[in-house]
Chain A
Amino acid sequence: MNILAQAQRDLRVALVGNPNCGKTALFNALTGSRQHVANYPGVTVERKEGGLTTPAGRRVLLLDLPGTYSLRARSPDEVVTRDVVLGTQDAVPPPDLLICVADATNLRLGLRLALELKQTGRPILLALNMFDIARHRGLEIDTDRLAAELGLPVVTAVAVRRGGTAALLEALDRRGDLAEAPLATTTWTPPDATGIRRLQQEADRILQATVRAPDRRDAVTRRLDAVLLHPVAGLAILLAVLFLMFQAVFAWAQPAMDVIDGGFQALGVLVGGLLPAEGALGLLRSFVQDGLIAGVGSVLVFLPQILILFLFILLLEDFGYMARAAFLMDRIMGGAGLHGRAFIPLLSSFACAIPGIMATRVIDSRRDRLATILVAPLMTCSARIPVYTLIIGAFIPDRPVGTGAWGWIGLQGLVMFGLYAAGIASALIMSFVFKRLLWRGTPSEPFMLELPDYKLPRWRNVLLALWQRAQAFLRRAGTIILSMMVVIWFLSSVPRPPEGADRPDIEYSLAYGIGHLVEPVLRPIGFNWQIGVALIPGMAAREVAVASLGTVYAVQDAEEDAAQLGQALAGKWSLATALAFLAWYIFAPQCVATLSVIRRETGSRGWMWFSFGYMLALAYAAAFITFQTARALGAG
């Protein structure tokens, strides 16, 4: 092996570009599956890194930076981009080369960014992405002239086609010596209005000299927008898309959920057969079967629902529709004191509040971001679905709401819809209240957003992103949720009942003691001690409440057979208690993982406790009102 080549370290390259310039698609094309996602220390901004080898055998470490219009950073996302480019990000060594990615069909803002990047003194390569689309639309770009005018090497790229990155890879080979070059000092300072204006006018001049563009918009985008951005039809279509999305989450996920369910059930039986039921090994058997397998299974069963929801969100985002949704919703959300950009984070929160809260980092203003973070956990996340399904299945009769024209609407489905609606309404009301109480008189920040041209989503990009989401969920299931299930199993099984015990095993356990301790507080809202025990792990992860109820009620295989647990509950709870339990879970103080993300995102323990406290208060109040009202009406 060549010792010199071995001594040569990897070339560090960073991708910088406007939002929607196809930067991530280019990153995927260059690195394939050799990438991993982590977070920058201290912030939840995603750090995407990947490796690649150039045709000449040079190894390159590629970093995908968050999209930005300028190095004048405003959101946490853009701060990361600025700091990495300037070499002041502690966790990332300064890149040897910046690849400025620009959308060839929409060069104007990308060229200004390239000119601004030039001021940093770092080596830069301009990549004109989506070059095939530009050519297809009749744009003529004189790349040689462009390179001469900018004083930067320019290559073309087609991220979505095989071989579309060949020119870029060759250019990397030509810059292989950069790793040894000394780092130039930067002269960049945040530009004022005059500076930005001058750069844009320079970019416009270069554009005029190098690009001949037909004077028309993308025909597909124009026709689609005529319908999708229509004031009335656009909103109706947005509602239809959301309806379809939830329909899919419930209907399409069922077969996959049944398979996962069956798999864990079979595994439980298999393991149960291997270990004896009595003696010390009986405790081990109970631990493996009820604690480990049932616990992990009860959570993994939601993976299909979460993936379907994310699939929709990723497809809509790739298609270019999400920015339109923000446009359509801006005024409606503005009425509740939320920013138009809060729409996407809140939508993601239907899957899980954690990615939702992380998505708020695209909101520039701290106040607008904070308001969104505080209400995001009120959106009905998928972890509440099992709780709702269990209680509705057990207590709400499965019959149509009415007869004739109303015959197709099921009562159970209507209650489910009502719970979702209550979550949305409470989120809007609370953000309105926060805006009035906490930030009185400060108006919402301006809403300015680029609406990109529509383009067909690429399966490769969507599936890669989906896989990354699945990994994050599995990690969560494997750590927090699993450990909580073990704790609950332990509390409900220890100590073991004495010989000749005549009461159920659970009444000798630690869980029984804890449940009785909290019962007085819960009595006014109609909760018994068993619910008290289930609520505590339910705060670690809401869905665990179902499994915990199962364990506490000592119904074997509760998670595998929700109907059985449902029957047990129907015999033991009053309707008023069941309704109060549902009301509690609309607001249910969020899970530990969400709280820790809130702390990280807001950078303050105070906001974490505030959000925990206000949701706990709302949950208690809602359950109290529901229970007392239901009892007064004779459902107690």
Chain B
Amino acid sequence: MSITFDAAIADIRPAPAICALGSARPGFRGRIRGLRAFESGGLPAEEIERRLLELGFVEGAQVEILHQGLFGGDPIAVRVDAATIALRRREAAAILVEPLE
């Protein structure tokens, strides 16, 4: 399991309410604090992490959930800086975010 964490910020502040993007509702806005990829869809954690990174889910990027599907609110459409990416909640669970006011 690979964990990358924005350690500097986690140290000085009282732990902000970090949650997984996969469980957030439409309208949620936040900033990516880390990726905690796990094996999914027959792919190893490392590969999931690389795919998320390639689509711009990098620490520090700002995200917003724009839309969700009809069945089980899945998949979700996420604004990542200037791009919109569709993904399933399963994989979005690997993206750790800190809510923005």
**Which among A155-163, A224-232, A628-636 touches the partner chain?**
A224-232
Asked if A183 is an interface residue, CB under 8 A from chain B, the answer is no
Q: Which residues of B contact A200 (CB under 8 A)?
A: 53, 56, 58
Q: Which residues of A contact B74 (CB under 8 A)?
A: 330-331
Q: Which residues of B contact A201 (CB under 8 A)?
A: 58-60
Contact of A448 among B4, B42, B55 (CB under 8 A): B55
Q: Which residues of B contact A106 (CB under 8 A)?
A: 82-83
B99 CB to closest chain A CB (Å) equals 18
Q: Which residues of A contact B71 (CB under 8 A)?
A: 331-332
**Which among A35-43, A414-422, A439-447, A462-470 touches the partner chain?**
A439-447
Known pairs A331-B74, A451-B77; A446 contacts B90 (CB<8 A): yes
- Are the CB atoms of B84 and A448 closer together than 8 Å? no
- Are the CB atoms of A196 and B67 closer together than 8 Å? no
Q: How many residues of A contact B (CB 8 A)?
A: 48
- Are the CB atoms of A331 and B86 closer together than 8 Å? no
> Which A97-113 residues sit within 8 Å CB-CB of chain B?
105-109, 112
- Are the CB atoms of A327 and B56 closer together than 8 Å? no
B63 CB to closest chain A CB (Å) equals 13
Q: How far is the CA of A107 from the CA of B83 in the complex (A)?
A: 9
A201 CB to closest chain B CB (Å) equals 6
Asked if A471 is an interface residue, CB under 8 A from chain B, the answer is no
- Are the CB atoms of B87 and A447 closer together than 8 Å? yes
Residue of B nearest to A69 (CB): B54
Instruction: Determine chain B's interface SS by DSSP, over half rule.
Output: mixed
Fill in one digit per residue for B16-57: 1 if any A CB lies within 8 Å of its CB, else 0. 000000000000000000000000111100101111111110
- Are the CB atoms of B54 and A450 closer together than 8 Å? no
- Are the CB atoms of B77 and A327 closer together than 8 Å? yes
Asked if A323 is an interface residue, CB under 8 A from chain B, the answer is yes
Residue of A nearest to B69 (CB): A331
- Are the CB atoms of A105 and B82 closer together than 8 Å? yes
Q: How far is the CA of A213 from the CA of B81 in the complex (A)?
A: 10
> Which A447-479 residues sit within 8 Å CB-CB of chain B?
447-453
Q: How far is the CA of A400 from the CA of B27 in the complex (A)?
A: 49
Known pairs A327-B75, A449-B86, A450-B85; A196 contacts B53 (CB<8 A): yes
- Are the CB atoms of A446 and B40 closer together than 8 Å? yes
Q: Which residues of A contact B86 (CB under 8 A)?
A: 323, 326-327, 330, 340, 447-451
Asked if A223 is an interface residue, CB under 8 A from chain B, the answer is no
- Are the CB atoms of A229 and B77 closer together than 8 Å? yes
Asked if A217 is an interface residue, CB under 8 A from chain B, the answer is yes
Q: How far is the CA of A214 from the CA of B97 in the complex (A)?
A: 23
Asked if A135 is an interface residue, CB under 8 A from chain B, the answer is no
A579 CB to closest chain B CB (Å) equals 36
Q: Which of A109, A221, A332 has the most CB of B within 10 A?
A: A109
Q: Which residues of A contact B79 (CB under 8 A)?
A: 217
- Are the CB atoms of B56 and A330 closer together than 8 Å? no
Q: List 25 A-B contacts (CB under 8 A).
A: A69-B55, A108-B83, A109-B55, A109-B83, A112-B54, A193-B2, A193-B46, A196-B50, A196-B54, A197-B58, A204-B61, A229-B67, A230-B67, A323-B86, A327-B69, A330-B69, A330-B86, A445-B43, A446-B48, A446-B90, A448-B86, A448-B87, A449-B86, A450-B83, A450-B84
Assuming A69-B54, A201-B58, what are 4 further A-B pairs, CB within 8 angstroms? Answer: A193-B53, A196-B53, A444-B41, A448-B87
